Amino acid sequence: MPVANLRRKHSSRKTLPPKRGADLLHTPLLNKGTAFSREERIKLGLLGLLPPAVSDPETQAQRVLTNIRKRATALEKYIDLLSLMDRNEHLYYKVVMANVQELMPIIYTPTVGQGCQLYAHIFRRARGLFITRHEKGMMKEVLRNWPEKDIRVIVVTDGERILGLGDLGANGMGIPVGKLALYTACGGVPPSQTLPITLDVGTNNQKLLDDPLYLGVRENRVKGAEYDALIEEFVKAVQAVFPKALLQFEDFANHNAFRLLKKYQDRACTFNDDIQGTASVTLAGMLSAGRILKRRLSDETILFHGAGEAAIGIADLVVNAMTAEGTSKKDAMAKCWFVDSKGLVESTRTELQEHKVPYAHPHKPIRELADAVRAIKPTALIGASGQAQQFTKEIIEEMSRLNARPIIFALSNPTANSECTAEQAYTWSKGKALFATGSPFDDFVYEGKTHVTGQCNNAYIFPGVGMAAVATGAKRITDEMFSEAARALAALVSEDDLASGCLMPPLSRINEDSAKVAAAVAKLIYKRKLATEPEPKNILAAVKAKQFKPDYPKYA
């Protein structure tokens, strides 16, 4: 019996696994470690291969947490958790799902950035598929090498723009692995139905090419027609081998991300999380801020620092939301301004990339962000440039002079790249800022009041969208679905959350909240007739029934 088939069955009844003995212990989604009962050990050829004591899952989880918490650095914890995933996936998810607020910063941002930088140096065991240009004409064959056949969610990167760290080549595999761990831990997508992929099309990072431990191809990046042909073959191969799979593009550089999304979003079940997921969670934060300020999204004037995938994606979704409120698209776009590396994006500039042109409004040239704040007088300042400490004391004080409660989102990842810290935002605004970040920050007390910083983490969005696609068998993923996900997420922010200044619901209940986001998106999928699965009477209950639970299979 194929392992994938077994995994779909063993959660509901006792069944014998397809492997025995040491092979069983070396299969992460079948292994139970010291939790195998004596009866199971006798039946499955495990006697003598494990210490004699039988541990219950709670004891195993406590052992894992105790050891992780003893580690001196976040990177050591990251390595420990990856090693656990490689040994025992049920235990890994049991630990992560029960401690998601503590461990999400370890398994994903910000620690995953360091994990990617050092990928070749901390390498233990391969996870996922690596596909290079040398596999041209063979991609279906490569995909069929993956042991699981019922793949529903794929995260793929080409490693060119990893977080705010740039071109990391094959080292970028840490991103799809971490992202898919969150699809499961936060959204409940069964891990056997996920597949991380790195398209190793080379790297222009000379430091990596000179590193004797680097594990990718030692070539400069493929580009142009050859690159496009590789992507085309890859997408078609995915559709042929895994026809029910959602394909998420992750950490592609700006010059490829926008055009690939435009090219494939109507041809495949696909989306780009850096563009659409970031946009959705940020829109949710803006909607939450609007609840505090008692005003519509259309009343905001937004200045973005950065004009790449994230910033343009946010603006596009914000414009859609404003038009849904009755504002014309022209007026909505006029409320979104950008400052990039050359200054204010305005209509006299002739060198603008295509994705910036629609937001190049008439205005005199401005070089510095602080001058743009004074001229544009924004109600919201959103950082998505990947550049640290760009929101200076002068800028935040000016935002606070212009607004009774300035909206300030410092979204750049990892933490070292954040435009400002929580302490700076609250101190320089004298506690007035409605503040959210891309990376986690501790609560900050200013003049006796505790301010809780909401993390605009895409993990609030993409796991729910992915679970909706899995539950419905979605044919396509649309921008409208991300708007719906944002509204669903914003509705989950309580009045108590808002009172503390937090614009997001607690991470501690993200699995439950992701099911609600998934249900909202699934409802829209059915409404737009994009589902291939029959519509259930209770969509939320159906989503929850399909969510992965980290409970061990019973073999005896």
Rounded mean pLDDT, 188-217? 98
Per the residue annotation, which of 78, 92, 93, 108 is the catalytic one?
A: 108
Rounded mean pLDDT, 103-119? 94
For residue 248, list its beta bridge partners.
Answer: 155, 271
Burial of 265-294, coded b for 16+ CB within 10 Å and e otherwise, reads beebbbbbbbbbbbbbbbbbbbbbbbebbe
Residues 490/288, Cβ–Cβ less than 8 Å: yes
Number of Cβ atoms within 10 Å of the Cβ of 35: 19
By C-alpha distance, which of 444, 375, 435 is closest to 406?
435
Is 5 a residue whose pLDDT tops 90?
A: no
> Residue by residue, what is the 3-state secondary structure of 99-148?
CHHHHHHHHCCCHHHHHHHCHHHHCCCCCCEEEEHHHCCCHHHHHHCCCC
Which pTM does this prediction carry?
0.93
Helices (H), 325-409: 329-334, 369-376, 393-402
Both tokens assigned to 62: 């406590």
d(CA 422, CA 443): 8
Amino acid letter, residue 489: L
d(CA 93, CA 29): 11
Rounded mean pLDDT, 398-413? 96
Mean pLDDT of the chain: 95
d(CA 411, CA 405): 18
Q: Is 475 a catalytic residue?
A: no
pLDDT in tens, 21-79: 999 999 999 999 999 999 999 999 999 999 999 999 999 999 999 999 999 999 999 99
Q: Is 108 a catalytic residue?
A: yes
Is 189 a residue whose pLDDT tops 50?
A: yes
pLDDT in tens, 257-296: 999 999 999 999 999 999 999 999 999 999 999 999 999 9
Residue tagged 């300030």 (tokens): 408
Per the residue annotation, which of 179, 356, 432, 544 is the catalytic one?
A: 179
d(CA 518, CA 510): 12
d(CA 339, CA 383): 10
pLDDT level of residue 109 (50, 70, 90 thresholds) = confident
Residues 159/203, Cβ–Cβ less than 8 Å: yes
pLDDT in tens, 482-493: 999 999 999 999
Is 11 a residue whose pLDDT tops 50?
A: no
Residues 447/438, Cβ–Cβ less than 8 Å: no
pLDDT in tens, 151-165: 999 999 999 999 889
Is 4 a residue whose pLDDT tops 50?
A: no
321 burial via Cβ count (<10 Å: 0-12, 13-18, 19+): buried
Residue tagged 């409970």 (tokens): 551
- Predicted local distance difference test score (pLDDT) of residue 13: 52
Domains of the chain: 3-55 (1.20.1370.30), 59-268 (3.40.50.10380), 276-458 (3.40.50.720)
Q: What is the DSSP letter of 361?
A: B
